């Protein structure tokens, strides 16, 4: 028997009525997300300088990171010099993405850019079993210019390429990145949710301090990494 509080028990008809009432809110939220995406597609864009980043194969121009595609999503991974284990949030979030070839059908690519030197970044990628392609902006102002400076926060940036010219079209950080992964969406379906203390939950629901749930970077490496 669980020691946690439980939802109230009702008959099937009552449960269906309450589900239908919730469904109307869920559908409204879906329509709002559609409207938000429509507005995003109408955003203007800004031309980017001709940055050179470091990749596994050496110096790489920003336009070359598209690898022939016209659209590019960049996750700016936090990096702290000298640390064995980098940000657990970034490490855990990007560990979700293991089959990105589906983006090829949409003329798009999704990569990681970090402030860490490329050799250290690639070693960390292998240690934690990350499946994404990594680039380094350690010798470039690119990270700083798109909201992810050295020892700074994470973020997501989107770019559009027209020939050799690259434009920045969108940016988010903080909880704005949640929509890109599956984990939080799955957790929000569960009766107890994310179990973090900031959430609006019924009395007695299990709750812990924010950021104390989930695997840390070392635990992720044990699960997925090469040791």
- Any domain includes 81: yes
Dump pLDDT digits (tens) for 214-227. Answer: 889 999 999 998 75
Among 39-43, 102-106, 174-178, name the one with the lowest average pLDDT. 174-178
Q: Are 143 and 113 in contact (CB under 8 A)?
A: yes
Dump pLDDT digits (tens) for 134-193. Answer: 999 999 999 999 999 999 999 999 999 999 999 999 999 999 999 999 999 999 999 999
152: tokens are 């700074």
- Any domain includes 151: yes
182: tokens are 């599956």
pLDDT cut 90: percent of the chain above it: 93
Distance (Å, rounded) from C-alpha 225 to C-alpha 109?
Answer: 23
Cβ-count burial of 218 within 10 angstroms (0-12 exposed, 13-18 middle, 19+ buried)?
A: middle
Instruction: Give the number of domains in the chain.
Output: 1
Which structural domain range is residue 139 located in?
A: 46-178
Q: Please give the C-alpha separations between residue 36 and each of 48, 61, 118, 155, 188, in angstroms, as whole numbers.
A: 25, 32, 36, 19, 21
- Any domain includes 39: no
Dump pLDDT digits (tens) for 45-82. Answer: 999 999 999 999 999 999 999 999 999 999 999 999 99
- Any domain includes 6: no
- Any domain includes 102: yes
Does 40 have pLDDT greater than 80?
yes
Does 107 have pLDDT greater than 80?
yes
Q: Are 90 and 154 in contact (CB under 8 A)?
A: yes
């Amino acid at each position: 028997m669980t020691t946690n509080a439980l939802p109230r028990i009702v008959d099937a008809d009552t449960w269906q009525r309450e589900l239908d009432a919730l469904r109307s809110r869920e559908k409204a939220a879906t329509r709002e997300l559609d409207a938000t995406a429509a507005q995003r597609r109408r955003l203007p864009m800004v031309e980017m300088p001709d940055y050179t980043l470091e990749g596994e194969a050496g110096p790489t121009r920003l336009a070359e990171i598209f690898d022939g595609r016209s659209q590019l999503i960049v996750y700016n991974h936090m990096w702290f010099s000298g640390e064995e284990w980098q940000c657990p949030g970034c490490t855990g979030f990007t560990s979700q993405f293991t089959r990105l070839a589906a983006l090829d059908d949409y003329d798009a690519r999704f990569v990681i850019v970090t402030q860490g030197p490329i050799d250290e970044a690639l070693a960390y990628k292998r240690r934690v079993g990350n499946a994404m392609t990594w680039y380094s902006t350690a010798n470039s102002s690119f990270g700083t210019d798109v909201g992810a400076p050295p020892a700074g926060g994470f973020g997501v940036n989107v770019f559009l390429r027209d020939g050799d010219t690259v434009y920045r079209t969108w940016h988010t950080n903080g909880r704005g990145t949640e929509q890109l992964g599956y984990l939080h969406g799955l957790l929000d379906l569960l009766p107890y949710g994310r179990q973090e203390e900031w959430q609006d939950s019924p009395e007695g629901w299990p709750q812990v301090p924010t950021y104390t749930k989930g695997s840390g970077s070392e635990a992720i490496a044990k699960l997925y990494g090469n040791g």
